[in-house]
Amino acid sequence: MNLINTVKGVQEMVTSLRKEGKSIGFVPTMGALHEGHLSLVKQCISDNDICIVSIFVNPTQFNNKEDLLKYPRNLEKDCLYLEKAGVHIVFAPSVEEIYPEPDTRQFDFGQIDKVMEGEHRPGHFNGVAQVVSRLFDVIKPNKAYFGEKDFQQLAIIREMVKQLELDVEIVPMPIVREATGLALSSRNERLNPEQKQDAVKISEIILGLSKNWNEYSVNELKRVVIDKINEVESLQVEYFEIVDGFSLQPIQHWPDTEYAVGCIAVFCGDVRLIDNVTYY
């Protein structure tokens, strides 16, 4: 496995691989890797000749400086994990490599980023689009892999690819959960054992109530989920929205969409967790 820190270095390597006719798969990450990332990596390895993983904690997508400072970082451990998984190249650039000049681009995603994460984390998706477009520009992958846990991010990336007319296939990958149901996230590392037990209730409640969703109206289901989660000692719901899975716009009634998705953000102590569920 090659660990490369510079844009020039990775570009040279990718150019020569492409000349050899190799297909390039790409998994962008911010490190602190877990089984969720591994599922993207495995798919990437099986679909492509070359799998490149980036590890870059992108400052422009953090609207909360504290969150950026506390974001878990362990490059050495992550590299060992990726080497074992069979990754060919790890690209771990510095902030200066990615942003030699401040990135002042402002994307317009219409209504997609005006709700949920976009509403509660102003500027977050603009930062995500800045870094992902920059990474795509450097690596020029054939396919790129993103987890469905960040459901709204996936919609933003797809819209960005469309707007910039990029020639990359976006491959969505299902949420990976612990045996308890808790959606895997790098932020779970920051939960103490009691908080972790409480955090399990998030998936327990949203998945449990998704089994008989049609016994409720959209608004009733929202209310029940929010109330049940807020009853748990250390949990505080920031939002729970039921949206059309394509437009990301909240629905009022089930017949408003054929693809209803419930998206939630919950504070467990000071750790912010997100999850989602599709209503079939």
Q: Check residue 58 for interaction with ligand PAF (CB under 6 A).
A: yes
Q: Check residue 49 for interaction with ligand PAF (CB under 6 A).
A: no
Helices (H), strands (E): how many in the chain?
10, 9
CB of 5 to ligand PAF, least distance (A): 17
Residue 74 to residues 5, 31, 71, 79, Cα–Cα distance (Å): 15, 7, 10, 9
Q: Which stretch binds ligand PAF (CB under 6 A): 23-31, 216-224, 247-255, 266-274?
A: 23-31
Tell me the one-letter amino acid at 280.
Y
Q: What are the start-end ranges of the H helices in 99-217?
A: 116-120, 124-139, 151-163, 193-210
Q: Which stretch binds ligand PAF (CB under 6 A): 28-36, 224-232, 241-249, 269-277?
A: 28-36
Q: Check residue 148 for interaction with ligand PAF (CB under 6 A).
A: no
Site mask for ligand PAF (CB under 6 A), range 60-99, x = bound: -x--------------------------------------
Q: Which of 24, 89, 131, 266 binds ligand PAF (CB under 6 A)?
A: 131
Q: Check residue 185 for interaction with ligand PAF (CB under 6 A).
A: no
Which residue numbers are catalytic? 37
β-sheet bridge partners, residue 3 = 90
Q: How far apart are CA 34 and CA 183, in angstroms?
A: 11
Q: Nearer to ligand PAF by C-beta: 146 or 279?
A: 146
Q: How many residues bind ligand PAF (CB under 6 A)?
A: 10
DSSP per-residue letters across 227-271: HHHHTSTTEEEEEEEEEETTT-PBPSSGGG-SSEEEEEEEEETTE
CB of 58 to ligand PAF, least distance (A): 4
CB of 30 to ligand PAF, least distance (A): 4
Residue 239 to residues 116, 170, 269, Cα–Cα distance (Å): 7, 27, 15
Q: Nearer to ligand PAF by C-beta: 122 or 217?
A: 122
Q: How far apart are CA 223 and CA 237, in angstroms?
A: 11
CB of 185 to ligand PAF, least distance (A): 10
Q: Which stretch binds ligand PAF (CB under 6 A): 4-12, 75-83, 100-108, 128-136?
A: 128-136
Check: CB of residue 93 under 8 Å from CB of residue 56: yes
Check: CB of residue 31 under 8 Å from CB of residue 73: yes
Q: Check residue 30 for interaction with ligand PAF (CB under 6 A).
A: yes
Q: Nearer to ligand PAF by C-beta: 48 or 234?
A: 48
Q: Which of 29, 48, 133, 234 binds ligand PAF (CB under 6 A)?
A: 29
How far apart are the two ends of the chain, measured CA to CA in Å? 41
- For binding to ligand PAF (CB under 6 A), which residues are involved? 28-30, 58, 61, 128, 131-132, 150, 153
